[in-house]
Structure 1
Amino acid sequence: MQYDPIKRSLGKVFNRHPFLRKIFYRLLDWLLLRSWHIRKELRKLKTQGLLQPVILDAGSGFGQYTYRMSRLFPQSNIVAADIKPEQIADCNQFFQQLGKADQVSFQYADLTQYTSPETYDLVLSIDVMEHIEEDTKVFENFYQSMKKGGVLLISTPSDQGGSDAHDHDHESDGVHGFIDEHVRDGYNIGDIEMKLKNAGFSRVEARYSYGTPGKISWRLSMKYPILMLGASKLFFVLLPFYYLLVFPFCALLNYLDVSNSHTTGTGLIVKAYK
């Protein structure tokens, strides 16, 4: 199914007022397991001395990670890049309302062509690379755009199942190709490490996310609600009650996934250093 129409529908609800937008970001922070992993990595980078970074949010989407980084690194300067003009305009308006226009700028950028030589201390790429066929070119552009000592932080599906992108395991629910926008099923952990090293990165650290607890949480918190919303917009009325029931369980599962290492998993968290 197509994920973007569901995201647009949710965006229309929460974009009516900055207060609702902040609530939306907070909900995403708690519901999305990838957000738990990224928060952990960003806090770790801050404790390691990343205090006033120049940041590229490469594929900024709704802007939730840009918002979090603007708060975690209040002295930072952030360029948030995306290819969807409506989201860029919407996010610029929101951050202007917050009084953060001097700190944060959203702009159009095709990541296969975008470079800004030796500019960024941190490049963030969250669930972006699985949408781009020319990934090696993007990795090269990231490398060229980073300062010496900079870090690239990536979240992307692995080849151990991804986000059910091409449901090869034929689950009993019969869903095939849950996310149609992906151009690959997911990265082999060795393959993405090799591609990043070939792009020039001196050190690459990759680990699995979405282990057993994370996979259960993802189905409860994201997959099944999205499938129901895709079947009928009436589920919007029931959605708050559904999450009241499942959220405590999902939060516990997310905590377990972030707190433990996994020998396999359907997601990858990758850090690459220049």
Structure 2
Amino acid sequence: MSRIAYDPVKDRFANIIRRFRFLRTAFYMILDLFFLRSWYVRAIMRKFGTILDQEGSWTLLDAGSGFGQYDRFLLQQFDHVKIKAIDVKDDYLEDSRAYFQKEIAEGRIEFKQKDLLDINYEREFNFAICIDVLEHIEEDVKVMTNIQQALKERGYFLMHSPSIYSEEDADGDASFVDEHARAGYGKEDIKEKLKTAGFKPLHVAYTYGDKGHMAWEMLIKYPMLWLNRIKLWALPVMAVYYVFTLPLGLSLMWLDLNEPNPQGTGIYALARKKDTPN
């Protein structure tokens, strides 16, 4: 299978969408529509974030904010949230600052360049998210520990990552991506790491089961390979392709979200900071 790295493709999109605000907005909408992990993250945040929002002002740490797509969702969904978004890529942060100028002025979000291995926040946040980031970091337990220390008592932590079943697409000489420090996590593996970091796992589940993985291949994997090979010339072909495949792909994603997956190429974990003994 042809190899492709995510980062060059993401950087190519970033160069295009940074020029026009409406393109970045459209890009956020595409990410939320096409990436099943976003469906899971938004579903979980609607459930637990709504509880926090009803109680008044609350704070969230976006650990590895990337393009800022989840920040946009959170700010639109919850009236009382204040976000600190951190990432190592300064160009991504600058693009986000330009896009979220109004929300920055209102004090609802700030962007900081930081390495997750070096953060030293202390009991500052009610919730933290780390979406498809930990698989890139060798010292993942250290990052989880840093995030745990950044949370207030009984604060929530939500992570998503490739699973151990993603090796076909995320490891080896014929890999689809090659920026990972590990192929992924299994349920028991991530539970043990969370416990070591000071969390109590609440729910761990696989994403991208058979149906979700089929949708990912149909809607993401093969179109990205086309883009990597023939660049922008692939766009007209993709437009026709999606007319026929999008309805089926979205239906498969809905089924993946609403049916339990015995295994899958993605995994999420929702955890809570352990109570500190008196």
Q: What TM-score results when the alignment is normalised by the length of structure 1?
A: 0.92
Counterpart amino acid of residue 33 in structure 1: L
Q: Deviations over 1:211-263 (max 9, x none)?
A: 11100011011110111111111213433333232211111111001011111
Query: Post-superposition shift, 1:184?
Result: 0.4
- Letter of the 2:140 partner, please give it: D
Deviation of 1:4 (Å): 1.0
Q: For residue 203 of structure 2, what is the aligned residue in structure 1?
A: 205
Residue from 103, 108, 113 that aligns with 2:113: 108
Q: 1:194 aligns with which of 192, 195, 199?
A: 192
In the TM superposition, what is the alpha-carbon distance from 1:210 to its structure 2 partner? Answer: 0.6
CA root-mean-square deviation: 1.6
Q: Distance in 1 between matches of 2:129 and 2:45?
A: 10
Equivalent position to 2:49, from 42, 46, 49:
46
Q: Does residue 17 in structure 1 map to residue 20 in structure 2? A: yes
Q: Counterpart of 1:54 in 2: which secondary structure?
A: strand
Task: Give 1:91 deviation, angstroms.
Answer: 0.6
The question of 1:70 aligning with 2:75 is answered yes
Structure 1 pair 250/100, CA: closer, same or farther in 2 (3 Å)? Answer: farther
- Describe the SS at the equivalent of 1:202: strand
The unaligned stretches of length 5 or more in structure 2 are 274-278
Does the aligned pair in 2 maintain the 1:163–1:266 contact within 8 Å?
Answer: no
Q: How many residues align?
A: 266
Q: How far, CA to CA, are the matches of 2:18 and 2:242 in structure 1? A: 20
1:7 aligns with 2:10: yes
Note the 1:215-226 alignment, pairs <5 A.
215-226=213-224
Q: Contact (CA 8 Å) 2:53, 2:81: kept in 1 or not? A: no
Residue of structure 2 equivalent to 1:257? 256
Structure 1 residues 197 and 99, CA gap change in structure 2 (3 angstroms):
closer
Change (3 A) 1:110 1:99: closer
Q: Counterpart of 2:241 in structure 1: which amino acid? A: Y
> Could you tell me how far 1:86 is from its partner in structure 2?
0.6
Counterparts of 1:147 and 1:162, CA distance in 2:
35
What aligned pairs does 1:1-274 form with structure 2 within 5 A after superposition?
1-51=4-54, 52-96=57-101, 98-101=102-105, 102-161=107-166, 164-166=169-171, 176-233=174-231, 234-274=233-273
Q: Which moved more, 1:41-50 or 1:57-66?
A: 41-50
Q: What percent identity do the matched residue pairs reach? A: 37
Aligned-partner residue type, residue 208 of structure 1: Y
SS at match of 1:105: strand
Which ranges in structure 1 are unaligned for 5 or more consecutive residues? Answer: 168-174
